[in-house]
Structure 1
Amino acid sequence: MTKALVVLSDARFSLLRSTCAELAEGLAELGVEAALACFPDPADGQAAFEAGYDRVLARIQAMVDADDDFFLVDLNCKLSYTSLRRRRPLRRFSYVTDAPWSQFDHIHSVGDDTTISYVDRHHAAFHQRFASGRRTVFMPHGGPPPDPAWHDERPIDVLFIGNLAPPCRMEQFEAALAPLPEPLGRAARLALDMVLWDGGEPFTALDGALAAEGLTPEGLGLRPFLDLLRFLSAFAESHARHRLLTGLGRVRITVAGRVAPGFFDTVPDNVHLLGMVDEAAALALMRRSRILLNSVTVFPAGSHERVWYAMACGAAVCTERSSFIGETLDWGTHLLDAADAIASGGDTLAEALAAPPGVLEMARAARIPYSANHTWRRRAGIIRRAMTGG
């Protein structure tokens, strides 16, 4: 029987432990003998991290020495296995949780027999343009099985989970562009407009905007291009989150996450800040919320895991449109539209919350296509096909 070891760092302030545990369960359901190998969060101290990492490496070495038919699953191409003694390359599936340019150096230095995933269909174009020499496959975000302890007692009207950091306002964007020579600044502005207003994806938007000015990423230089692309992506995400959280004055919003100085000039009266929460607290908050706000601006042909986790926890989801999400769910039936919410100043959400039986019917309706298509256990099938051909 083929074996798999799913390797992760125990990062408390994310949903990655749940992600990896569910992928291991999904592989097991598909006939792979799968196990989870976890080492401590680096935040717990370098000594604990290194000791835990060494234990994981010893576990992998034992599988290599036994000549097992196995593969590894890990995250973001960050882990190094060069110290292992082996007769052939390790078979490895690395799930990249963010845009490929955010992990560019890791992706392009990864060794072994590695398959690299991407979370937005448009990212295939980036991998083609800047090929790493490794196989790539589309594997979007997912979520856990629907929570069996469904309940209607949900005291939190609207929840947002995520970190908030500047630059997020247009004057900050312009200040950051000031050192750039023209026509590079014009290209960056055009690319941002394409992302924010035309549903564009950052790489294809910036590539197209440069072409409109007679420029190319190659002509600009790899590092300057990646720096500009990363800035554009980060700003677009932060700007969309700022617009969402400052534009819904009619509803009460609870925010869980780190809020960096400068994101809000003044925290809106309808926004309550909880600060950072760990994975268990994030899931508990979703189970107690009626609506989860999400911003998927930088993944217009992908999703965010928070969309799926909220559905699993029984909350309705208000998010921007994504062609991938739209393949199996409908706005109005399964989802609330973030653009409509902002345009109405939050009225559409207030009306949805006030209407009997509120948003719970929408949440129940969304669970059906969610559980059929978007759990991590479903995503595990992508890994199995990539690694075994089955």
Structure 2
Amino acid sequence: MRILILKGRSQYGGTRLFCDHAAAAFRRRGEAVEVLDLGHTDDIAAPVLAHAAGAGRFDLIFSINIAGGFRDGAGRTLSDLYGGPHVLWLTDYVLSQTERLRATPPSTALLLVDPTQVDAVRAIYGPQRFGHVSFFPHPAVGEAAPPDASADAFLARRPIPVLWSGGFQQPEPPWTGVEGPARQVLQAALDLALSVEWTPPHVALDTVLRTLGLDLSDPANVGARETAHLVDVEVRRTRRFEFLKAVAATGVPLHIVGAGWESQLHRFKNAAYEGPVEMNRMAELMAQSRLVLNTNGNFGAGSHERPFSAALAGAASFSDFSRYYAEVFAPGRDIELFYWKDLDAGMTALSALAADPERAFAYAHAAQAKTLAHHTWDRRIDLIASAADAVRR
């Protein structure tokens, strides 16, 4: 099978590294893979057309966050140009990508990072809008660390007690630019979302709209329902800031990486700050860490790559609850999960795990074995191939 992977720009190199891992995994299967690097430009049309003119047919085109709405001057899609199905993985909250979704042809196979986002696409745009939409959980990135032989070796080889990665977003007054009754609707949806452990943003907003008598089946109301992405932003900001303050109060020793933290470092009694780093560097730091913190980006039924990458690097993970993590891990044995509605208990658990390298070692050892067996790119590419088959002409 000939496979084309479109590799675009990426902040901190994340999706570019994903593309490299995907290409390597397909090659290990014996597939012929070509990577078209579009990272040098925002206007991908010219290099894509130049490449397609002499590239021949591909059996599968894969991209991450880019090129879903590609059409040339004659209206041809990527599938038209290259002959094979296009599989597009969207790693951000799907309703924050509404312009891309509207432009993406129905023949595209969509992969999303939370199964409730699959539900959102089907509910808002209709089950026939795309030929295939499915959940694609993040695979681990980086290289598998050699297993630590003992808890003592784990402690000696990993000088970072707790690693915390990700940019800081300053909470802001919500609904900037939103006027009139829409503000009250969004605030009611936000209040509902924050009143429970987790609910999908589109469900919170649909619930409020339904109580106001809105007919959710009316296509004229699609735009109103798409504003669930604003609810997602506010839930994410609110809870991440709550988490920041709670972690700071524990005093656990931290190594923090990410942009925008300078104004918050005064909160931490025992923290080293490295600033923003590329994802390759992040993988290196995970291999030097005993415990890695994760907040799941408001994907309460889905994934982030961080717990899997941490496990691959031989570190334990502490994360907010996700239905997916609860299914694929064994909380309390190979991952520690906390609940937003009981953050105090979560911080007690974090402090205890950070102070117990033997237990962190046991978690990490079990999680690495599980990740190697089930959560690498070598395993996930089957989902890409299946998605392509579902829309293949």
TM-score range, shorter chain: 0.7 to 0.9
Paired residue total: 372
* Structure 1 residue aligned with 2:104: 110
Find out whether 1:165 has 2:157 as its counterpart. Answer: no
Whole-angstrom CA distance in 1 between matches of 2:184 and 2:207? 14
> Which structure 2 residues correspond to residues 17-32 of structure 1 after superposition, within 5 A?
17-32=16-31
Contact 1:146 1:313 in 2 (8 A): yes
Find out whether 1:289 has 2:289 as its counterpart. Answer: yes
Find out whether 1:147 has 2:144 as its counterpart. Answer: yes
* Inter-CA distance 368–83: structure 2 relative to 1 (3 Å threshold): farther
SS in 2 for 1:36: strand
Residue 196 (structure 1) shift: 6.1
Residue 381 (structure 1) shift: 0.3
SS in 2 for 1:290: strand
Whole-angstrom CA distance in 2 between matches of 1:58 and 1:22? 25
Whole-angstrom CA distance in 1 between matches of 2:136 and 2:86? 15
* Inter-CA distance 371–273: structure 2 relative to 1 (3 Å threshold): same
Find out whether 1:92 has 2:86 as its counterpart. Answer: yes
SS in 1 for 2:243: helix
SS in 2 for 1:359: helix
**Range with greater deviation from structure 2 (251-260 or 146-155):** 146-155
What residue identity is the alignment partner of 2:284?
A
* TM-score between both structures, scaled by the size of structure 2: 0.82
Whole-angstrom CA distance in 1 between matches of 2:161 and 2:23? 34
* Structure 2 residue aligned with 1:372: 373
SS in 1 for 2:196: helix
* TM-score between both structures, scaled by the size of structure 1: 0.83
* Inter-CA distance 133–190: structure 2 relative to 1 (3 Å threshold): closer
Whole-angstrom CA distance in 2 between matches of 1:285 and 1:145? 11
What residue identity is the alignment partner of 1:311?
A
Find out whether 1:338 has 2:338 as its counterpart. Answer: yes
* Inter-CA distance 69–369: structure 2 relative to 1 (3 Å threshold): same
Whole-angstrom CA distance in 1 between matches of 2:6 and 2:198? 34
Contact 2:162 2:254 in 1 (8 A): yes
* Structure 1 residues 178-230: Cα deviation after superposition (integer angstroms, max 9, x where no partner): 95427x6266334443356232111112112322333356598444543x322
> Which structure 2 residues correspond to residues 117-196 of structure 1 after superposition, within 5 A?
117-128=111-122, 129-131=124-126, 132-144=129-141, 147-150=144-147, 152=154, 153-167=157-171, 172-173=173-174, 179-181=179-181, 185=184, 188-194=187-193
Whole-angstrom CA distance in 2 between matches of 1:76 and 1:356? 38
* Inter-CA distance 273–216: structure 2 relative to 1 (3 Å threshold): farther
Find out whether 1:362 has 2:351 as its counterpart. Answer: no
**Range with greater deviation from structure 2 (275-284 or 21-30):** 21-30
Whole-angstrom CA distance in 2 between matches of 1:300 and 1:347? 22
CA RMSD of aligned residues (A): 3.2
Find out whether 1:82 has 2:85 as its counterpart. Answer: no
Whole-angstrom CA distance in 2 between matches of 1:89 and 1:112? 15
SS in 2 for 1:122: helix
* Inter-CA distance 108–187: structure 2 relative to 1 (3 Å threshold): closer
**Range with greater deviation from structure 2 (9-18 or 134-143):** 9-18
Contact 1:76 1:107 in 2 (8 A): no
* Structure 1 residues 75-116: Cα deviation after superposition (integer angstroms, max 9, x where no partner): 224363526986786521111112221111112212484211
Whole-angstrom CA distance in 1 between matches of 2:220 and 2:106? 31
* Structure 1 residues 326-383: Cα deviation after superposition (integer angstroms, max 9, x where no partner): 2221110111123389314733222223225241111111112222222122110011
Contact 1:165 1:261 in 2 (8 A): no
Structure 1: state its 5+ residue gaps: 43-48
What residue identity is the alignment partner of 1:322?
S
Residue 12 (structure 1) shift: 5.3
Contact 1:188 1:209 in 2 (8 A): no
Whole-angstrom CA distance in 2 between matches of 1:83 and 1:179? 38
* Structure 2 residue aligned with 1:45: none
Residue 261 (structure 1) shift: 8.2
